[in-house]
Amino acid sequence: MKKQITKISKEKEYKKYVNKKVPKPSYLKNSLWAFFVGGAICTIAQFITNTLKDFGLNKTDANTVTVIIMVFLGAFLTGLGIYDKLGKKAGAGSIVPISGFANSIVAPAMEFKREGYVLGVGAKMFSLAGPVLVYGFGSSVIIGLLYYFFTR
Amino acid sequence: MDYIRAFIVGGIICVIGQLLMDGTKLTPAHILVSFVTTGAILTALGIYEPIAKFGGTGATIPLTGFGYSLAKGAMDSVKKAGLIGAFTGGIQSTAGGVAAAVVFGYIMAVIFNPKSKK
């Protein structure tokens, strides 16, 4: 009986100790980082779009090429190890832009390279991008169907 | 001026993601998925289009913009091609980005090795 009581109180103590040690997220600081890094990434993209438009691309093509360039930059900087360093500070500021999508593909693919090029790189590339594509494509088809039946 | 608008709109969308990360137990994977889906739904409701007009890349580069071009592509294709457009439109409009992500992602993963974490 006594043993049990001490066990429970120890557990409680441990929980208290853990709660004390787990760092509280500092909302303001994290949000500022996310705002400035996310904003900066979008501003760079705007610069690329404007430059492409100056070269004579139409709006849709300029947007597509901008996305391709941002994906390339995200993947390349992840390979160099720079993007993950940035991500530690910037949090959602580097995850939410499309370059973060590229990051989510390259990071696990590099990590699992030793498991081979098919089941390692090929499969793990999509450990995070896969769900995004499933829900993205899924919702686009559903929206298309709804649009078809409601606009007839 | 469009740079400032892109900065502010993109920044705000990222802050929403950051607050969700800090304030809830959602993982980055959950946030990416919900951002894409939310972007698609807001586009279908006609809410995201004005945001994209105002914010430019600030609205199209975050993942909500991926949802935006998926939904917009699906609806535009339905207008042109009918029912089949629901299946082709979304993926067509995002094909460039997705193909780039797969190809560049693969190449970079093959070339580079993960940096040892300190």
Residues of A in contact with B106 (CB under 8 A): 109, 121-122, 125
What six digits make up the tokens of B102? Answer: 């797969």
What is the residue range of B46's domain?
A: 2-111
Mean pLDDT of A56-84: 95
* Residue among A35, A41, A63 whose CB faces B15 most closely: A35
Mean pLDDT of A130-152: 95
- CB contact under 8 Å between A46 and B2, yes or no, is yes
Given pLDDT bands bounded at 50, 70 and 90, which one contains residue A24?
low
Instruction: State the best of A26, A99, A140 to mutate against chain B, taking most chain B CBs within 10 Å.
Output: A140
- Determine which helix (DSSP H) or strand (DSSP E) holds A99, and give its type and residue range: helix A98-111
How many angstroms separate the CA atoms of B41 and B110, rounded?
36
- Cβ(A43)–Cβ(B3) below 8 Å: yes
Mean pLDDT of B53-62: 96
Residue at B104 is within a domain: yes
Residue at B43 is within a domain: yes
* Residue among B11, B40, B110 whose CB faces A139 most closely: B40
pLDDT tens-digit profile of B20-56? 998 888 888 999 999 999 999 999 999 999 999 999 9
Given pLDDT bands bounded at 50, 70 and 90, which one contains residue A21?
confident
Question: Is pLDDT above 90 for A6?
Answer: no
Structural domain boundaries in chain A: 27-150
Residue at B13 is within a domain: yes
Total domains, chain B: 1
Give the pLDDT confidence score for residue B103 in this predicted structure: 96
Nearest CA-CA partner of A40 in A102, A106, A89, A81: A89
Q: Residue A17, class by beta-carbon neighbours within 10 Å (0-12 exposed, 13-18 middle, 19+ buried)? A: exposed
Give the pLDDT confidence score for residue B87 in this predicted structure: 96
Q: Distance (Å) from the C-alpha of residue B52 to the closest C-alpha of chain A?
A: 12
Nearest CA-CA partner of A33 in B11, B6, B21: B11
- CB contact under 8 Å between A143 and B18, yes or no, is no
- Fill in the amino acid letter for A21: K
Give the pLDDT confidence score for residue A13 in this predicted structure: 83
Residue at B118 is within a domain: no
Structure pTM?
0.87
Give the pLDDT confidence score for residue B118 in this predicted structure: 45
Mean pLDDT of B62-85: 96
Question: Is pLDDT above 80 for B93?
Answer: yes
